[in-house]
Structure formats: structure tokens, C-alpha cells
Structure 1
Amino acid sequence: MDAFYASVEQLDNPKLKGKPVAVGGNSQRGVVAAASYEARKFGVKSAMPSAKAAKQCPNLIFVKPRFPRYKELSSQIREVFFEYTDLVEPLSLDEAYLDVTENKIGLNSATLIAKEIKQKIQARTGLIASAGISYNKFLAKTASDMDKPDGLYVILPDEAEDFVSKLPVHRFHGIGKVTAEKMVKAGIFTGKDLKKKSLEDLKLRYGKSGQYYYNICRAIDHRMVQPTRETKSVSAERTFEDNIYELEDAIEEVDRIAHISFDRYQRSKASDGHTITIKLKYGDFRQITRSKTLEQAINNESEFVAIARQLMTEDLLDEHGVRLIGVGISNFRKDEEPEQQSQLTLEF
């Protein structure tokens, strides 16, 4: 979806149409969750501090996020997807991969299916989507960002390697801003430059990601579309207007956030969590975590909150203060299912 949260706000409030809109808080600690295309012309983008966004765009209109409304429209959009295929892998409320190799309408053209989906989304919700079409995830995702807003971009198999060779590394999906900057400093500007590096070199430079970079600069991506994604953790967090310095205040916030986290845990499809984790981010942006793992699954809210409180101790406080606290639960497994143990074998 194109500028999803901001577009929803403009859809529901016609007075915002054509104006620079940022979804998020406009406080000193606020962060932009989404920006309309009118705001993006001024350099406003998601994850930017609200104070900086307001300086770059003096006429910027801040709107508080309404996630229930975004989820409602996201569900309507996914209903359109399932009219064509059951192989839908949501990445977020506003983005998904679809495998339409075998589709429900028997149409032998992914491009025509994408056009129909875009039209139905607009007709049913009033919102605009962009689509990328290709034969693997990396190329489809890259294509979806090529012609926004209201884009429809196709990368054909016989065009893929040439397309990737000319693509700047900062436009590669999976190569973040920091990594792209490191690559440029190392003389890697495009896919062609990246392809010159050996697999051993890339692994040495970028660790486990080296294999992925080696493949994508050759337009190779074997990942399948996964209709269901296993939940690894459930959490909640909060950034404070003013840093916290006192243990009593920190515990009070942990208690409040833990209740929210446990509610999400109960409403999620995840179950049988064994590990509770608290996360703290300090005023200087350093971040730490503390965890406790239990033998039995955690299914009692009082127990969950109590353990989270116990993890928040005096020694975790810092002279810079605490600007963010998060509480989460993970390590989902059935108690009756023992963890697999590996055994060494010798061949004679």
C-alpha cells in the first residue's frame, strides 16, 4: 500500500487531502510512523523524529495513529488477495507477498492479476496500492518500490540480471542504509560491483548475510512464499516523554507494559511461552535486555507481571535515564515436547 497510514487519514478526513501529513506524535520524543507523499517531498519519512520532520516541513500536519482502523482496512485488502490465491504471506498491515503461479481464477498472467487486485483494492477501500511482479521475492519486492505511488512494475526473467546489475546497492531489498554506506566506501556502488565479489569475501565482510548478497546480485532468491509465519515473540514497549531515573517509577511502567504485553500474548496464536524479557533503552540510546526462562509455560498474568517486575532491578538504572521500556514473552514450546538434543555420530 502507498503511504498506508497517512493515506487512510486522508481518506477518512477529506480536509487532509493534498496536504503534508505525518502519522505519529508531535512531541519532542515523537516519531513519524508514516508520511504522505506531500510530506515526503520535504524529506519527511517514517522513523524520523517528529521534531526534525516539523523543521523540514513547517506546514506538516501531525495525526495520531488509529491502528484499529488500519487493521480493519488491512483485513479488507487481504480478503482481495485470497480471492486469487491462498499463498499469501503478510509482512505487515500494508504489505504482502502473493504466489499466483496457480491462482483461483485460472489467469495465466501475474501482471493482469496484479492489475485486478489494485483495481479491487481501490474500488473497495478508496486506497492506492503498488505492485511488483517477478519470479522471486527479492525481485518482486524491489519492483514494488520502483514506480510508487500507484505503481505496477514487472521484472521479466530474461531482464532480471541486467536490471540487478544496474541497481544501486541502496535500492537492494535486504541491504540497509548502514550496510549500503559501507559498500559504497568499499567501492561497491551497483549490483554489477557486488557481483565481482566472491562468496568468501562477502561472508568475511558481512557474515551470514554474505550468502544472501551473493545470490541477489545474481537475481537468485529461493525463498518460498510462506502463508503462515511462526510467531517468535509477543511484546509491548513504550517511549517516555521524560527519562526515568527512579526504580519505583521504572517498576510502575514495567507493570503497566507487562499487562499490555500479556493481553497481546493471549490474543495471539502463540502459546506456551517460557521466556520473559524486559528491554531498556537509555537516554544515550544504549540498549540492554534481561530475561528469565521457566521450565513450565507461562499462562498466568499475575505470574508474568511479577517476573517482569523482578527483572527490573536497581542496577539497571543509569545516569542517562531510561527513555524506553519493553516487556515480551518468547520461547514458545509445549512442555511435553522435550527440546531436541543433537548427538555426534561417527562413520566407520
Structure 2
Amino acid sequence: MAEALPLRKIIHVDMDAFYASVEQMDNPELRGKPLAVGGSGTRGVVAAANYEARKYGVRSAMSGVMAKRNCPHLIFVPPRFDRYKEISSQVRKIFYEYTDLVEPLSLDEAYLDVTENKKGNPSASLIAEEIRARILNDVGLTASAGISINKFIAKVASDYNKPNGQKTVNPEEVLDFLETLDIRKFYGIGKVTAEKMYQKGIFTGTDLKTKSLEFLHSHFGKSGRYYYYVVRGIHNSEVKPNRTRKSLAAERTFSTNLSSEIFMLEKLEHIAEEVSKRLKANKVAGKTITLKIKYSDFSLHTRSKTLPYFISDKHLLLETAKELLYQEKLDNSVRLLGISLSNLNTEKTKKEPESKTVSVQLKFGF
């Protein structure tokens, strides 16, 4: 008989259009109007867009020129990250009133494990409602939430009733929920992977579930194992209050596109120096160097190399980045370069999920 692990009660809280919502809160004249945080110039990029702008197809990471083309009356405001951090800190203080098991993913989202909580409330759904009400009353912003037995399902569920809503996936609903889910809704499956899955006849969770572990590993590499387990409701990652950093990076967008590797070397030196400073400030080193190249047509390419030893030195970073730059001929002129270091000496070996955890307890108050 399969062994059942104790089920957790996990909440994923996601602030609604966070950057843009902060700007609208601080400037009421912006409310109800399509708004983008970022730059509108020829080199500008949208960092965030409110829901009014999203109706016109404006999305984060879109060029300011394209965003303006989609929505001619779009209002741009420059980002104020200090202000966003200040508001994020206020939201997190609310989280900690309910549990110490809080794992921030970014300024605007976090996982909370409320299996055992400071309020003694057995209902994760009611806790999520209370947290969202507190954020609205105390901070002035709306948030959405997903509630379920693990981080993966809670993350997917939080996007279901956005904005200003929540969704609970009870233990007995997990498998049906995942089977009917569009493959594009699976956290961790991006646009490119979704297209590849379509080509393999995988459109929903049900389709994904028919594929063997061997098939998924063969076509999707290490990620195939992840897909195999999550569609069966198996995701054993705990909420970690002190998340282990997995990489450190720096990048630069240029005011003029660069067309020759020679012009990029000076830029890479500054980027490598910035990465090295961050590594030393965090007292970490890594083995895998990745060079990020964004071309003038906005296509994104990465090239990586893993060394047999840990590094944090600027010169070693730069030499490897140069090697990666000259590894292949450039496809076009370049608008952005970045260097990241991963496979850090802070990472621990992860255990593979075991199929015995597929059995769940159904009587569990959500």
C-alpha cells in the first residue's frame, strides 16, 4: 500500500499588477487608465503593466515602442524600486503575523505554509481571505491567492481568479484539477516548451499524464521528470523561509545596438565586475557561467559553460564570457548582454520525488 505523506496547507499570495498598482495608489489620477511602469523611448522596456493596459496586449518585457503601438494612450511612469520594496516590506509583515514559514519569490509574491499557524485557524482558505483583506485595509492594494497541498498547485491556483480573488484546490480535487488544466497554465512551462508539447500531442494535463517518464525525459531532459511528477500532484518542495540563492547575474541594455564582438568586450568587462562584486558581497562562488544575448529583433540566446571548480573572480568570469561570445557567430546586432553564475556552492543535492507520495489523505480542512 502506498505511503501517504502528511499534507501541507500552502498559500501562494500574488499582488495584483504590483508596480503599476503602487503607482496608481500614490497618484489617484492614474486610476482607471492604461499604465505601464518602464520606459517609452526607443530603448525603453515595460517592467509592468496594469490590467487596463493588458487589455491592449501590453505585457512586461515588451518594448516601449511596441507597447505604445498597441495602446496609443498608454501612460508610462518610471520605476521606483525603493518604494516597491517599502510596500513589499509592509505586506510581508502581515504574512509573519500568521506564520514564520514565508518564502518570498520576489517583491510581489510569496509562499506561506499555514499547516500550523499563529492564529490556530485550521482553514487555509479563511486565512488567505483574511490576509488579502488585511493587505487591502492596511496597505491599500489588492492581492490574489492560491491554496492547496503543495507549492506548485498553490502557484497555479493563484492565477485562476485574478485580480483580487482566490482559488482553493482541495486534496480530493487535485488530480481532476491538474488533468483538465491547459498545459500553458502549468508553472514552469513557458511558451517555447508549450509549443514543443503541442507538437507531441500534449495540450492538457490529461495528455501529459499519458506520457511515460522515459518519454518526457527523452524529449524534455531533466525537466521531463518534473513534469511527470507535478501532473500527478507530487511536488515535495517545502516552504523555505531562507531561500538558497541559485544564481547571481548582471546585465546591460545598450543605448545603441552593438554589431561587433570587439565593441562588446568593454561592456562585458563592466558586467563581469558587477557580478563579481555581488558574488563577494554574498560570499558565494559558482561553476556555471551563462552569457545572455538579446538581439535587436528581441530574440534571446544563452550560451553556458560549466567549470570543474568554483569561481567568483572577475577575470575568470570575463575570460569565460569572452570564450562564450566567440563560440558562435552573432545572428544580428545586440541590444543587451548579461552574465550569470549558477551552480553555486550554496546549493544542496536534491532528492528525486518518490512515487509512494502519490497517495493523499482526503479529510483535510481547507
Normalised by the shorter chain, which TM-score bucket? 0.7 to 0.9
Instruction: Say yes or no: does 1:138 pair with 2:152.
Output: yes
Counterpart CA distance in 1 for 2:85 and 2:67 is 26
Secondary structure, in 3 states, of the residue corresponding to 2:143? coil
Tell me the alpha carbon deviations over residues 177-217 of structure 1, each in whole angstroms, 9 at most, x when there is no partner.
Answer: 22222223333222122222222222222222222222222
CA distance 1:259–1:72, shift in 2 (3 Å): farther
For the 8 Å contact 1:254–1:309, the answer to whether it is kept is: no
Tell me the alpha carbon deviations over residues 46-86 of structure 1, each in whole angstroms, 9 at most, x when there is no partner.
Answer: 22222222111111112222212111211221111111111
CA distance 1:250–1:184, shift in 2 (3 Å): closer
Secondary structure, in 3 states, of the residue corresponding to 1:91? strand
Specify the alignment match of 1:102 in structure 2: 116
Specify the alignment match of 2:12 in structure 1: none
Tell me the alpha carbon deviations over residues 264-322 of structure 1, each in whole angstroms, 9 at most, x when there is no partner.
Answer: 4455xx20436695735254646455879797975xxxx73796389658958958443
For the 8 Å contact 1:28–1:50, the answer to whether it is kept is: yes
Counterpart CA distance in 2 for 1:296 and 1:46 is 34
Identify the match of residue 38 of structure 1 among 44, 52, 61.
Answer: 52
For the 8 Å contact 1:114–1:131, the answer to whether it is kept is: yes
For the 8 Å contact 2:217–2:224, the answer to whether it is kept is: yes
- How far did 1:128 drift? 0.8
Specify the alignment match of 2:335 in structure 1: 323
Counterpart CA distance in 2 for 1:147 and 1:3 is 14
Identify the match of residue 183 of structure 1 among 193, 197, 220.
Answer: 197
- Structure with greater Cα Rg: 1
Instruction: Say yes or no: does 1:73 pair with 2:87.
Output: yes
Identify the match of residue 291 of structure 2 among 267, 276, 279.
Answer: 279
Secondary structure, in 3 states, of the residue corresponding to 1:236? strand
Counterpart CA distance in 2 for 1:203 and 1:177 is 19
Counterpart CA distance in 2 for 1:307 and 1:5 is 33
Specify the alignment match of 1:19 in structure 2: 33
Counterpart CA distance in 1 for 2:134 and 2:301 is 44
- How far did 1:4 drift? 0.8
Instruction: Could you tell me which runs of 5 or more consecutive residues in structure 1 were left unpaired when the two chains were aligned.
Output: 335-339, 341-348
Counterpart CA distance in 1 for 2:259 and 2:284 is 34
CA distance 1:15–1:319, shift in 2 (3 Å): same
Instruction: Could you tell me which runs of 5 or more consecutive residues in structure 2 were left unpaired when the two chains were aligned.
Output: 1-14, 350-366
What value does the CA root-mean-square deviation take over the aligned residues?
Answer: 3.1
For the 8 Å contact 1:278–1:325, the answer to whether it is kept is: no
Residue identity in the other structure for 2:196 = K
For the 8 Å contact 2:68–2:74, the answer to whether it is kept is: yes
Residue identity in the other structure for 2:250 = A
CA distance 1:100–1:257, shift in 2 (3 Å): same
Identify the match of residue 122 of structure 1 among 106, 119, 136.
Answer: 136
Residue identity in the other structure for 2:314 = F
| Range with greater deviation from structure 2 (307-316 or 317-326) | 307-316
Aligned residues: 329
Specify the alignment match of 1:304 in structure 2: 314
Counterpart mapping for 1:78-227 below 5 A: 78-227=92-241
Specify the alignment match of 2:352 in structure 1: none
CA distance 1:292–1:177, shift in 2 (3 Å): closer
CA distance 1:248–1:272, shift in 2 (3 Å): same
Secondary structure, in 3 states, of the residue corresponding to 1:90? strand
> TM-score, normalization: structure 2?
0.79
**Greater relative contact order: 1 or 2 (C-alpha under 8 angstroms, separation 6 or more)?**
2
Secondary structure, in 3 states, of the residue corresponding to 2:177? helix
Counterpart CA distance in 2 for 1:148 and 1:195 is 27
Residue identity in the other structure for 1:39 = A
Specify the alignment match of 2:9 in structure 1: none
Counterpart CA distance in 1 for 2:221 and 2:87 is 39
Secondary structure, in 3 states, of the residue corresponding to 2:90? helix
| Range with greater deviation from structure 2 (116-125 or 240-249) | 240-249
Q: Could you tell me the percent identity over the aligned residues?
A: 51
For the 8 Å contact 1:25–1:64, the answer to whether it is kept is: yes
Secondary structure, in 3 states, of the residue corresponding to 1:30? coil
Counterpart CA distance in 2 for 1:182 and 1:297 is 35
For the 8 Å contact 2:311–2:317, the answer to whether it is kept is: no
